Amino acid sequence: MTVRIGGGQGFYGDGLDPVGDVLADGVDYLVCEALAELTLAILQKDRQRDESQGFTKDLPAYLNAALPAIVDGRTKFITNAGGINPVAAGRAAAATLKAAGATGVKVATVVGDDVRGRGDELRLPADALFANAYLGARPIVEALDAGATVVVTGRVADASLFAAPLIHEFGWGWDDWDRLAAGVTVGHLLECSGQVTGGNYSGPWWENPDPLRIAFPLAECEPDGSAVITKPFNDQDLLDAVQGALDIDSERRQQKRDLTQLVARYDTLTAREREVMALVVTGLMNKEIAAVLGTSEKTIKVHRARVMQKMKVDSLVALVRVADRLHGR
């Protein structure tokens, strides 16, 4: 049994277009990780202006993108877009489904990360605007066990969003540390969205024909905790890229063979023939070379002919190219 999880978001405001590619490739779960510490502060400002806010405003957009797969029963949706107001986010998710005419989709909201109610016990400042503790995978697993198709949380450890469906699907125990660790590892990779599939590429990224369309990651997970991290791709594009790389490698190998042959030919030249070759490629005439080397023009002609023969060239232009190649080796 293989479970496919798609990383649909790595931060609040992440790209939406790649989500369609992930869904088209087919995933059992689409997980959108939207929160950072700074994000909570931004959401708190939203809640100060309007008590019904405090969750990420792009939640409906991501949910709508996944809606066809959700309604068809192909994909479940998990997100921490609830921010500091998961209850309002859950209502927004339900409203999004209702507006789309989707029925029979169970939405679960995970709460409990807001610890302001324990302010005295935790010695929080009296004027603390928000205080949230990281929850883990357990409440998400419980929601999935109860039949939820859409799970909206507040502050949950990022990797737990991804580990939860694996625990639910494979029945991992809460003391099965190796498999839980594997699930956390998968989660830490997928939560980075495009950063794990090329967004951190430090090579000539400008050569990418569409650098804004970096495919988001997928994990093909097995019950033993092993997983393959991949991404949506077009078969022909991949084959073309592989063939292009093979062609480049073949060309470089041929160039290396050619250079080896040139070096071998050059090694057959006598010391005097090498001197003559070095002067010939500078453009000097036989008479001028003879004067430089203190010998006769006739002797230079003989050496020159032997150089051309041994280097297997039939023109001065070709000899210059050979010399340049040898010099650049």
Q: Which residue has the tokens 């293989």?
A: 2
| Same domain assignment for residues 295 and 308 | yes
Report the predicted TM-score, pTM, of the whole model to 2 decimal places. Answer: 0.77
Number of domains in the chain: 2
DSSP string of 73-110? TS-EEEE-TTTT-HHHHHHHHHHHHHHTT--S--EEEE
| Same domain assignment for residues 60 and 169 | yes
CATH code for the domain of 276:
1.10.10.10
| Same domain assignment for residues 313 and 185 | no
* C-alpha–C-alpha distance, residues 76 and 57, integer Å: 20
Domain of residue 269: give its range.
Answer: 238-328
Give the pairing of strands 29-32 and 76-79: parallel
- What pLDDT does residue 205 have? 79
| Same domain assignment for residues 270 and 154 | no
pLDDT tens, position by position, 177-232? 999 999 999 999 999 999 898 888 888 878 777 777 788 999 999 999 999 999 99
| Same domain assignment for residues 193 and 312 | no
| Same domain assignment for residues 228 and 156 | yes
| Same domain assignment for residues 135 and 44 | yes
| Same domain assignment for residues 56 and 180 | yes
- What pLDDT does residue 329 have? 64
Reference 63, options 46, 83, 43, 77; nearest CA is: 77
Query: pLDDT tens string for the chain (329 positions)?
Result: 999 999 999 999 998 999 999 999 999 999 999 999 899 999 999 999 999 999 999 999 999 999 999 999 999 999 999 999 999 999 999 999 999 999 999 999 999 999 998 989 999 998 888 899 999 999 999 999 999 999 999 999 999 999 999 999 999 999 999 999 999 999 999 999 998 988 888 888 787 777 777 889 999 999 999 999 999 988 898 899 899 999 999 999 999 999 999 999 999 999 999 999 999 999 999 999 999 999 999 999 999 999 999 999 999 999 999 999 898 76
